[in-house]
Amino acid sequence: MSNMLLEAKELHTYYGASHILHGIDFHIRQGEGIALMGRNGMGKSTLIKSMLGIVRPRHGRVLVRGDDFTGSPTYRTARRGIAYVPEGRGIFPNLSVRENLQMSARAGVDGRREWTFDRVMATFPRLGERINNGGWQLSGGEQQMLTIGRALMTNPDLLILDEATEGLAPLIAMEIWRIVKEIRKSGIATVIVDKNHAAVTAICDRAMILVKGDMVFSGTSDTVRENPELIQKHLGV
């Protein structure tokens, strides 16, 4: 099985007549962490959705573990060990915390079950306190924890977090970053979209910056941290 989990080659994606992605190349290997950064509306979520089959690119290829998945339905990509935590979370509000987690439980691609219900409970003690509450009864931070926990119950090799701490109180955001660090240490490859460039580059090995659908930077996270002019030019308000 390929060491390369997910690749995009020359992706061009449109929404109607609007050309959103302009020939984007992307790749992530097993165990890597990538910070996908850029201001609002630069194409980050579109890139993720194009690779996951939620949006179909007009040109280019998507490879999952070396196999061509261009235009494949999203469930096929998920079955190959890729989990997605979308912006907006997408929990099932009419299900309890326990039910949200248990409905997604399955072995990983290689049959392993490292992320069990008990391990998720140990990682997210706050969810244990809300275990019988409905999804609609949770705070925004608790919903984000639930969505991440639900993704981990699939025992993925790659976890994609879109706007990991968007709209969360600072203390809750700090808790999310703690959890993401644990996930990274467990060996799961991670793509993280977040506006907190300091936090996300501290966790990830590599960084990519999108500007109006073009990849303007691809390199190490250290390079981003050591070049404040790069942050100011492409990420500053």
Tell me what pLDDT residue 237 has: 61
Tell me what pLDDT residue 126 has: 93
Beta strand 59-64 pairing with 67-68:
antiparallel
Instruction: Tell me the backbone φ, ψ of residue 121, rounded to 5 degrees.
Output: -60, -40
CA 81 – CA 30 distance, rounded (Å)? 11
CATH number at residue 90: 3.40.50.300
Return the half-sphere exposure (C-beta side, CA atoms, 13 A cut-off) of residue 21: 27
pLDDT in tens, the chain (237 residues): 458 999 999 999 999 999 999 999 999 999 999 999 999 999 999 999 999 999 999 999 999 999 999 989 999 999 999 999 998 778 899 999 999 999 999 999 999 999 999 999 999 999 999 999 999 999 999 999 999 999 999 999 999 999 989 889 899 999 999 999 999 999 999 999 999 999 999 999 999 999 999 999 999 999 999 998 988 999 876
Instruction: Quote the pTM value.
Output: 0.94
Tell me what pLDDT residue 11 has: 97
Interval 103-142: pLDDT, tens: 999 999 999 999 999 999 999 999 999 999 999 999 999 9
Tell me what pLDDT residue 87 has: 86
Tell me what pLDDT residue 40 has: 92
Strand order through the sheet with 82-85: 82-85, 158-162, 189-193, 33-37, 206-211, 214-220
Structural domain count, the chain:
1
Question: Which domain, by its residues, includes 46?
Answer: 4-234
CA 193 – CA 189 distance, rounded (Å)? 14
Nearest to 104 by CA among 79, 70, 127: 79
Residues in the chain: 237
| Mean pLDDT of all residues belonging to the chain | 93
